Amino acid sequence: SATQVHWLYYIAFSLFGLLLYGTSLMTVETGLVMDTAKQQRMVISLLNTLIDAGTFAFFFLHLIQTSTQASFVLVLGVYLGLAVLSFGGAAVFWKQTIRLMEHDQQEQQHQKEQHLQLQQEQEQACQDYRPDETRINISMEVDSIKDSTEKSTGKPYIETEVVTEELSAQERQAILILNNPSNSNHTKRFSNNNNNNSNHSTNTKSHPIDEASQTPTSFSSDSNKEYLLIRNRTPRKQLSSTQFVLLTIFFVIQLGRNTFVMATAREWLRSLGDDQYQHKYVLLFTALSAVSVVGLPIFVWIITDSRLGYHGAFQCINVLGIIHGVIQLSTDNLNVQVIGFCVFSFYRCFLFSTCFSFLPVFLSGATVGRGAGILNFAASFFSLSNLGLVYLGIEVYDNDFFVPNLILTCAMIPCIGIAWWMGRCIQQEQKALLLIDTTTNTTTLTTTTTTLHAQESAEEPCRNSSHKT
């Protein structure tokens, strides 16, 4: 019966929603396979744009049906077969990718264990070092030098202060080698004080640095409050950070408007007189969704090469949404609405590309998938409010969508403030990264300089003593 068919439609629409939900998650995961951050952003943006470009499939299927006079069921069956082949290829790709990722993780874990073992052996060598045994070994070397000198010169070897100084210098060098600053938790500074009697002294001062010379993960701001990068926090704190909460609110509002426009396009254009043109403008609205492919290079330029960055991309979403809303509200001319169709296509391109490619920027790799899932779930749940707006436009205002479109256009105004707030959070993260990079470079330079200085300080007495001998 007709009622049973309607229930099947509900099931089909629900499955289609799950398909879109999974597609958005896989676009992010596919982007994360890339090596560099720029490649990740470009792949995520490209895949989101190709989703809109898929609207051309409708015209291809319609062309095939009309040219071959094939039944609708046959055309859909062929299309379903192509979809199965596509999904099968994707499954093989991910199987190989996951295998390679697991192999890389095992290699990294093996290297980490080797590094830890080497560090433990060096620490054990430092603990097992005994100065008395070192003095005995060095004394034996001195006796050997004494015997060879007496045999070659035929004169008795006279011990002087040089032997004591040489012994002291060799001992300091042994201690220095065992306590290599690159494997220690302290940076040692040495200074030499040379005089006429070749007396050398070493002054050691310890300064704590990060464990195993790791990159710092936080910095102290002017207010003396330590700021920890979002990606270095626990998954729960990452997903409850101000940055992610603001992004979720922004995406929920924007996607709610996007869903309403897509769902009510036919009824809204019918209220403007599209029925008189055999639904030509509905077809144009669907076809022009693929125009967003043209906007992809603009998006990449904004977030990568310009000074605007992601803050500018978020504000561009607001501007495009407001422009489209103003076109919807200001005129009933269908030809002018075509301009709005193009603007809406760019709006969708920027919305999905910006929000999903922004996740890997501040979230850790293991948390990005959860973040994308939360974004989709929250937006889907909030989109249920569109049912009230649809009822308002169809039942209350008799197929007049001016008031619902006005409400959703006004919802863009708080999004401007949210985007500005996210921009402040982005600046805070960038400041932290800049400070950490500077600290890391300074620490590396200091460690290298002090190591070289220490080695030269320890080797100089040995060279002087050998020369005197």
Question: Rounded to an integer, what distance in angstroms lies between the CA atom of residue 286 and that of residue 53?
Answer: 10
Residue type, 61: L
Are 83 and 321 in contact by the 8 Å Cβ rule? The answer is no
Distance between terminal CA atoms of the chain?
111
Instruction: Give the torsion through C-alpha atoms of 293, 295, 296, 297, to 10 deg.
Output: 120
- Half-sphere exposure of residue 400: CA atoms within 13 angstroms, side-chain side: 7
Q: What is the pLDDT along the chain (469 residues), one digit of tens a residue?
A: 445 566 777 787 778 778 777 787 788 888 878 877 778 778 887 887 777 767 677 777 777 888 888 888 888 888 888 888 888 888 888 888 888 878 887 888 888 888 888 888 777 776 665 555 555 555 565 566 666 666 666 656 554 444 444 444 444 444 444 444 444 444 333 334 444 444 443 343 333 333 333 445 555 544 445 778 898 899 999 999 999 999 999 999 999 999 899 889 988 999 898 888 888 898 888 888 878 778 778 888 888 777 888 999 999 999 999 999 999 999 999 999 999 999 998 998 889 889 988 998 889 888 888 898 899 889 888 888 888 898 898 888 888 899 999 999 999 999 999 999 999 999 888 888 888 766 665 555 555 555 555 555 544 544 454 444 4
Contacts 24+ apart (CB under 8 A), 92-101: 97/33
State both tokens at 170: 């060799």
* Cα(274)–Cα(344) distance, integer angstroms: 18
Q: Which two tokens stand for residue 279?
A: 């639904």
Note the maximum CA span of the chain.
123
Instruction: Record the tokens describing residue 221, joined without a space.
Output: 């701001």
What's CA 426's distance to the chain center, in Å? 13
d(CA 223, CA 226): 9
Name the burial class of residue 64, with classes exposed (0-12), middle (13-18) and buried (19+) by CB atoms within 10 angstroms of its CB: middle
pLDDT at 185: 41
Q: Is 0.95 surpassed by the pTM of this model?
A: no
Which residue in 370, 119, 399 sits closest to 270, CA to CA? 399
Q: Which residues contact 436 (CB under 8 A, 6 or more apart)?
A: 215, 216, 217, 218, 219, 229
Kindly report the length of the chain: 469
pLDDT confidence of residue 457: 53
Quick one: angle between helices 402-410 and 309-330, nearest 10? 160
DSSP 208: B
Alpha carbon 58 to its chain's center: 35
Instruction: Give the count of beta carbons closer than 10 Å to the beta carbon of residue 388.
Output: 10
